[in-house]
């Protein structure tokens, strides 16, 4: 068991190192067809935090900082994902990030803190703001009566609008696209939430991400957390792209 765990950790660290070398070798002007260096860095951080694989998370955090993510951007990634995988995973991710920053400071590395979230001055209710943000994400107005889980448990629909899509999504440390990339990374990692993954893959496409970028995302998921989860995510993506072509 110990030997198997050590082999897995060594494999993950090797991947992160190779991943970092690869992204640094790229041209400063990356094609819009591909995910950017910073976008690629978000995926292992989100996926490994969601899984609670903290030993593997450390090299991913280092790679993210070396790739140009600021301290506040990484903090925002880890805070964002608690809405999808819970406070315990998020807090352990933040604690691991603190350890990484202490280690880097000891080595004489000085990382950019980055911008704080801009205060929200919108006088509308949080429900209205969250509804409008969700409409922007899905690209259509939300009209008609509540259905499904929202009709069955109206409280959770209110919490989603007021907290997730207002309190969290309105914070401008990360863009909508970056937040959705973090979200699909978490959903692909925890498994068993295919309807939600399907919805957020559609949101990614609505925000302007390309099928090739989402396929690139799957490759990083496969290398980061394994073939089984990547295969499941690929099946959902294939369904989304097939239905999109049919329409």
pLDDT single digits (tens) 58-88: 999 999 999 999 999 999 999 999 999 999 9
Would you say residue 25 has pLDDT above 90? no
* Rounded Cα distance, 207 and 107, in Å: 39
Residue 116 has pLDDT above 90, yes or no: yes
Structure confidence by residue, pLDDT tens digits, 152-168: 999 999 999 999 999 99
pLDDT at 26 over 50: no
pLDDT band of residue 212 (cuts 50, 70, 90) is very high
Domains of the chain (ranges, CATH numbers): 2-23+35-114+170-246 (1.20.1290.10)
Q: What is the pLDDT of residue 144?
A: 86
């Amino acid at each position: 068991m110990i030997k198997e765990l050590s082999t897995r950790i060594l494999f993950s660290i090797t991947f992160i190192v190779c991943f970092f070398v690869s992204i640094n070798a790229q041209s400063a002007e990356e094609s819009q067809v591909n995910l950017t260096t910073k976008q690629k860095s978000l995926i292992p951080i989100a996926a490994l935090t969601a899984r609670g694989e903290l030993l593997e998370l450390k090299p991913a955090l280092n790679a993210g900082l070396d790739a140009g993510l600021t301290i506040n951007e990484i903090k925002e990634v880890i805070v964002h994902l608690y809405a999808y995988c819970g406070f315990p995973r998020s807090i352990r991710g933040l604690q691991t990030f603190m350890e990484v920053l202490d280690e880097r400071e000891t080595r004489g590395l000085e990382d950019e803190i980055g911008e704080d979230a801009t205060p929200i001055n919108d006088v509308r209710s949080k429900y209205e703001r969250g509804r409008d943000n969700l409409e922007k994400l899905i690209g259509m107005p939300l009209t008609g009566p509540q259905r499904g889980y929202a009709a069955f448990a109206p409280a959770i629909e209110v919490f989603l609008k007021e907290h997730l899509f207002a309190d969290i999504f309105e914070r401008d440390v990360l863009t909508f696209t970056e937040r959705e990339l973090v979200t699909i990374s978490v959903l692909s990692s925890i498994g068993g939430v295919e309807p939600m993954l399907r919805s957020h893959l559609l949101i990614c496409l609505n925000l302007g991400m390309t099928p090739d970028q989402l396929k690139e995302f799957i490759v990083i998921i496969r290398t980061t957390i394994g073939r089984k989860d990547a295969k499941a995510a690929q099946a959902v993506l294939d369904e989304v792209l097939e239905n999109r072509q049919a329409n």
